[in-house]
Amino acid sequence: MRTYRLHLRTTALATVTAGLALALTACGGSDSAGGPTTNPAATKSADQQVSTGTVTPSGEGASAAPSAGKATGTGTATATPAKAGSGGKNKGDTTGDSYAYTHPCSAGNLTVKVTSPAGAPATVRVITVTNNGSTSCGLDYFPTVGFSAKGAALGLQATAPGGLGGAPAYPVRPGATAYAAVNLNPSGGNGPVADEINILADKEHMPNADGVSLKLTKPGSVSHPKVGLYRSNSRDALGAF
C-alpha cells in the first residue's frame, strides 16, 4: 500500500491553475462548438443535463449515465471484464486492474465531459472520463480542476480530499467511465462567475497541455471549490458532497 501525497500543495494551486487555463485558452478552449484543443482526441463538450440516480425529489428512481448524456438502467459504467479466472493478475491480461496500476491512461484514449446532474444542487457538476482504449489504464485519484471566465483563468483550483492511500491508481477498464463530482461553491460564498471548467484527467502523469476546457451551459459563482475522488458511477461520486 502506498501513501499518497497530494501534489496540489497550497503554494502551487494558483500557478497550476493558471498554467492549465493558459494552455487551454491558447488553443481555443473557449469555443463551445468543440474547437481544437491541444489534445484533439479528447472530446470537448458543453455540460449536459443528465439523470444520475442520486436525487429523487418525487420518489421516482432515475438511472445513472455511464457516459454523459446517455442514460442506462444500470447505475454503473460498462466495463470489459478481465479474462475468466484471472482477476487481472495474469501478465497476459491487459484488461484487469493490475495492468492499470502500471499503465497510466493516455489522454489520446480518453473522452472527458462535464454534466449538470438533474436534481443535484446548482453548484455541483460531474466530470466523466471514459477509456476508449482496448486495455485498462490508471488515473490519478481525482482530476485537477480549474475555472475560467471568458477565456481568462480565475486563479481558483478545486481542492481534493487529503490523506489518501491505497491502490497505486484508479483503474479504468476498456469502455469504462470514471466519475468525479465538483462543487463550485460549497459554502455559498461570493466569488467570480465561471463559464468554463478546465480539467486535467491525471495531473500525476499528464502535462497541462493534455487538459481540456469545457463550456458550462449554466455559469456559476466559484468560491472555495472542491473536487471528489473518481468513482465508478455518478451516485457514488455525488456522495462526496
Q: Tell me, yes or no, if the pTM score tops 0.75.
A: no
- The length of the chain in residues reads 241
Give the angle 153-124-108 at the CA atoms, nearest 5°: 60
What is the per-residue pLDDT across 25-75, written as a single tens digit (0 to 9) for each? 333 333 222 333 334 334 444 454 433 333 322 222 222 333 333 333 333
**Residues 6 or more apart whose Cβ sits within 8 Å of residue 5:** none
Nearest in space to 68 (alpha carbons), one of 50, 55, 41 = 50
User: Where residue 104 falls among pLDDT bands split at 50, 70, 90?
Assistant: very high
Per the listing, cell 476508449 goes with: 132
The domain segmentation of the chain, as residue ranges, is 2-238
Q: Within the chain, where are the H helices?
A: 13-26, 97-101, 234-238
What is the average pLDDT score of the chain? 73
pLDDT of amino acid 54: 32
Q: What is the pLDDT of residues 114-157, one digit of tens each?
A: 999 888 899 999 999 999 999 999 999 999 999 999 999 999 99
User: Quick one: pLDDT at residue 175?
Assistant: 98
CA 114 to chain centre: 8
